[in-house]
């Protein structure tokens, strides 16, 4: 058959059908991953792999050879913080930071340098914001004029010393307290720091001074706002609103149209429970600011402390691979050919190797182990696509949760909490205990004025060998009171001593993997500051460490008549089980007459483990069951669009069905005689008050395919697609809404020298724009 004749025949077939099943193209064989367990020189340098995506750097110190080999930039962890550069007023010390830079730049003169940090509420001498007591001829009363002078002087001196050599600098670090997306200014309230002296304006004032120094010198130094927890939608929205507002009000301030805040630093302190989808959505949110870059800073993925298991190592590799897939898809460099916003300009890991003690000690958070041998995490970073194609998550759930005790909240990194520790809720009377904001009405005990209480916490150090007993505002995992922040390190104790203050800092006498009883005995006699006495008691790792486990908690009321036990955790009573919550995040990948459905198990299993999950397809009602979080539904019709729901079952019964998945369309295999393999999908959305439907088509065949797509209201569009090419067409639907339904897609070609024609359905969820 001649080419003109063939084209005419195929066009005729399309005209006859012009109207539905796709199968993903058979994936090309992925190159085999190298083995883990080797030293760094056996792998490509991470900086080289990502050279055309973004700058690959390190935050903090690390083993020198591995650091120089793998990283293109360096950010000091502590040496540039305010307590290191100006502990005493007017006495600036830059030698530690200079030594930190020189340690690595002498080995690699091309190593780019970043700065961290000019203004922060932590690791900053309290005299800077003129906190009590009076020092350095300051009033010691949070005087805003004095605090602003101190802020400006510090920024001028530190940035003036280092600025010309820096790519970027964290001007402000971790300003957001409790995130309220409706009030970014109020969200900056913290129990300590610049906010107390300068209010919410302090962030803006710091950036204004930094911009003044940089622009006066003509330096190209990016000004960064850096914060943790920006995988949280609420906190990310607060940062977005803050940056948007500040930049808008100073839009014409800087030369060349530079925004005042040029970069958002997303601290990547993650763990196995991190929602990668939320990370991606928040990157997309920041990208809508238009002229603001995104840096991923201080990145690590913490594992449950104690022992590095093969299962957790595998799952850490999966999480690294998922996150680096996202970072590549939003990279600012030329290697990113996606249609996503190109905003990620730097990614910085928080170390080289795992460390046994100190920051991130015992959390196995880095790509190399204690001895410098590559873990699966390194392979996930270097080869994210291949890793995800050859690995999957291993379910490590198991064991029974300890029964809850009213008013006691224990956070455990092995169970997915970002920070380990515990809270003991003291009261629920807003007049007597105004800091207590328990949302469940449960308290551990109600203190009596003048009474003495003994709090005993047994913990095991699994990397973290210092613990603080602190005042916290509520029953969440954070939010310290200002009374706590003012004295968090003021009362140090050894492990065997009885603390007589809160906050108490147990910071000596403990070794890794040791278990200790830490005892605090305090009389609530009214001498404590109001926002300390009334706060709830929190147990947290010292110096930010999280690698420890809380084993038992006991609270006793101490009196001459005898000690009365008020709280013991864990308790022995197990509440009756109920049906689990519904599974979430249901997604499907179409196959040949089948679909593989995956989901997130219920966050609440009702007190009884989920034993089986059932997937149901619509239309048709085909099912599959599994004890995991994915299974394959077979017996589906190629070319027909299907959605899926999942029901979880435990000993108490069935959950409600999950939300319906996005439609997918099973398809034939490429190269099948008299069948045409396309991948099809459709979306519906409201644009300018009108519903718009978009069809997406990819040619999975190895030969050209003529494609026609048609809507239910008989709008038709056609295209000749070359092998592997994609086609997208958008229609505005009649009326103010469009119901969920299907678009028809037809492909025509010649397979094995035989004309072939196949019709598909591309399902969409509809849109109501009225």
Of the candidates 79, 130, 204, 227, the residue annotated as catalytic is: 227
Q: Which of 435, 426, 425, 514 is nearest to 467 (CA)?
A: 514
Which residues contact residue 667 at a Cβ distance below 8 angstroms, ignoring those fewer than 6 apart?
Answer: 21, 22, 23, 24, 590, 592, 638, 639, 677, 678, 679, 680, 700, 760
* Mean pLDDT score across all residues of the chain: 89
Quick check: 4 pLDDT over 70? no
> Model confidence at 292, in pLDDT bands (50, 70, 90)?
very high
98 is catalytic: no
Residue whose tokens read 């050279």: 51
Quick check: 417 pLDDT over 50? yes
| Contact between 57 and 346 (Cβ < 8 Å) | yes
Structure tokens at 422: 């515990």
Percent with pLDDT over 90 in the chain = 66
Quick check: 2 pLDDT over 50? no
79 is catalytic: no
Quick check: 20 pLDDT over 60? no
Q: What is the DSSP letter of 34?
A: P
Q: What sections of 599-668 are H helices per DSSP?
A: none
What is the domain partition of the chain in residue ranges? 40-390, 408-569, 584-602+610-635+643-654, 667-768
Distance (Å, whole) CA 89 – CA 87: 7
**pTM beyond cutoff 0.75:** no
Q: How many residues does the chain have?
A: 770
| Contact between 114 and 126 (Cβ < 8 Å) | no
Which residues contact residue 69 at a Cβ distance below 8 angstroms, ignoring those fewer than 6 apart?
Answer: 40, 41, 45
The CATH number of domain 667-768, selected from 1.20.120.1200, 2.60.40.10, 3.40.50.720, 1.10.1670.10: 2.60.40.10
227 is catalytic: yes
Return the number of other C-beta atoms located less than 10 Å from residue 220's C-beta.
11
Residue whose tokens read 């063939």: 6
- The domain covering 40-390 belongs, at the CATH homologous superfamily level, to Glycosidases (3.20.20.80)
Distances (CA, A) of 550 to 515, 519, 537, 701: 10, 13, 14, 57
Q: Which of 643, 680, 649, 635 is nearest to 663 (CA)?
A: 643
Q: Which of 374, 406, 377 is nearest to 268 (CA)?
A: 377
Strand partners, 116: 170
* Average of per-residue pLDDT across 166-175: 98
What are the backbone angles phi and psi of residue 723, rounded to the nearest 5°? -55, 130
* Average of per-residue pLDDT across 120-140: 93
Of the candidates 262, 280, 298, 531, the residue annotated as catalytic is: 298
Of the candidates 79, 130, 170, 174, the residue annotated as catalytic is: 174
pLDDT at 462: 87
Q: Which of 226, 223, 196 is nearest to 207 (CA)?
A: 223
């Amino acid at each position: 058959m001649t080419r003109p004749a063939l084209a005419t025949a195929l066009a005729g077939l399309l005209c006859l059908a012009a109207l539905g099943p796709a199968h993903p193209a058979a994936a090309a064989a992925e190159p085999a991953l190298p083995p883990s367990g080797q030293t760094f020189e056996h792998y490509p340098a991470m900086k080289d792999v990502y050279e055309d995506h973004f700058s690959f750097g390190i935050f903090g110190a690390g083993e020198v050879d591995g650091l120089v080999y793998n990283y293109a930039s360096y950010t000091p962890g502590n040496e540039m913080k305010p307590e290191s550069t100006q502990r005493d007023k007017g006495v600036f010390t830059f030698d530690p930071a200079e030594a930190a830079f020189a340690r690595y730049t002498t080995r690699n003169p091309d190593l780019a340098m970043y700065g961290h940090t000019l203004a922060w509420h932590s690791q900053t001498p309290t005299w800077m914001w003129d906190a009590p007591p009076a020092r350095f001829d300051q009033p010691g009363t949070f005087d805003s004029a004095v605090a602003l002078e101190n802020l400006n002087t510090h920024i001028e001196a530190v940035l003036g010393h280092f600025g010309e050599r820096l790519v970027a600098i964290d001007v402000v670090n971790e300003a957001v307290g409790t995130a309220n997306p409706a009030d970014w200014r109020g969200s900056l309230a913290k129990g300590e720091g610049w906010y107390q002296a300068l209010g919410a304006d302090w962030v803006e004032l710091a950036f204004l001074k930094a911009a003044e120094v940089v622009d006066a010198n003509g330096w190209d130094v990016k000004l960064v706002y850096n914060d943790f927890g920006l995988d949280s939608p609420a906190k990310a929205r607060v940062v977005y609103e803050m940056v948007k507002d500040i930049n808008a009000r100073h839009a014409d301030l800087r030369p060349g149209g530079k925004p005042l805040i040029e970069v958002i630093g997303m601290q990547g302190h993650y763990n196995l429970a991190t929602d990668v989808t939320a990370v991606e959505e928040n990157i997309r949110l920041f990208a809508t600011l238009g002229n603001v870059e995104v840096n991923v800073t201080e990145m690590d993925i913490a594992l449950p402390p104690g022992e590095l298991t093969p299962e957790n190592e595998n799952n850490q590799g999966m999480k690294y691979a998922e996150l680096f897939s996202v970072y590549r898809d939003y990279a600012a460099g030329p290697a990113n050919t996606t249609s996503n916003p190109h905003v990620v300009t730097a990614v910085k890991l928080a170390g080289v190797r795992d460390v046994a003690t100190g920051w991130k000690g015992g959390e196995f958070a880095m790509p190399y182990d204690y001895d410098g041998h590559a873990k699966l995490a390194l392979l996930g970073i270097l080869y994210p696509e291949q890793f995800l194609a050859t690995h999957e998550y291993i379910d490590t759930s198991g064991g029974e949760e300890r029964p809850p005790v009213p008013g006691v909240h224990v956070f455990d990194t092995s169970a997915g909490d970002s920070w380990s520790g515990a809270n003991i809720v003291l009261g629920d009377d807003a007049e007597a205990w105004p800091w207590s904001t328990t949302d469940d009405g449960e308290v551990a005990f109600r203190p009596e004025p003048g009474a003495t209480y003994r709090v005993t916490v047994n913990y095991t150090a699994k990397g973290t060998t210092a613990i603080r007993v602190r005042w916290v505002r509520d029953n969440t995992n954070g939010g310290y009171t200002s009374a706590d922040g003012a004295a968090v390190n003021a009362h140090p104790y050894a492990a065997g001593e009885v603390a007589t203050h809160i906050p108490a800092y147990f910071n000596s006498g403990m070794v890794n993997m040791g278990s200790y009883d830490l005892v605090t005995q305090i009389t609530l006699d009214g001498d404590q500051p109001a926002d300390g006495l009334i706060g709830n008691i929190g147990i947290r790792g010292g110096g930010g460490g999280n690698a420890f486990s809380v084993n038992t908690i006991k609270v006793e009321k101490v009196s001459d008549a005898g000690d009365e036990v008020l709280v013991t955790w864990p308790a022995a009573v197990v509440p009756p089980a109920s049906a689990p919550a519904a599974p979430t995040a249901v997604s499907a990948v179409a196959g040949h007459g089948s679909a593989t459905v995956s989901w997130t198990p219920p966050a609440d299993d009702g007190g009884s483990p989920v034993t089986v999950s059932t997937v149901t397809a619509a239309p048709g009602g085909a099912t599959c069951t599994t004890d995991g979080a994915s299974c394959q539904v077979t017996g589906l019709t190629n070319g027909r669009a299907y959605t899926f729901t999942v029901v979880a079952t435990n000993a108490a019964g069935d959950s409600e069905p999950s939300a319906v998945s996005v439609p997918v369309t099973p398809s034939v295999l490429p190269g099948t005689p008299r069948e045409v393999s396309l991948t099809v999908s459709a979306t519906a959305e409201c644009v300018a008050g009108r519903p718009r439907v978009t069809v997406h088509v990819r040619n999975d065949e190895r030969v050209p395919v003529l494609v026609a797509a048609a809507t239910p209201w008989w709008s038709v569009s056609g295209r000749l697609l070359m092998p592997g090419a994609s086609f997208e067409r958008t229609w505005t639907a009649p009326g103010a809404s469009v119901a969920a339904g299907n678009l028809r897609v037809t492909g025509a070609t010649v397979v094995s020298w035989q004309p072939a024609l196949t019709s598909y359905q591309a399902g969409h969820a509809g849109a109501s724009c009225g």
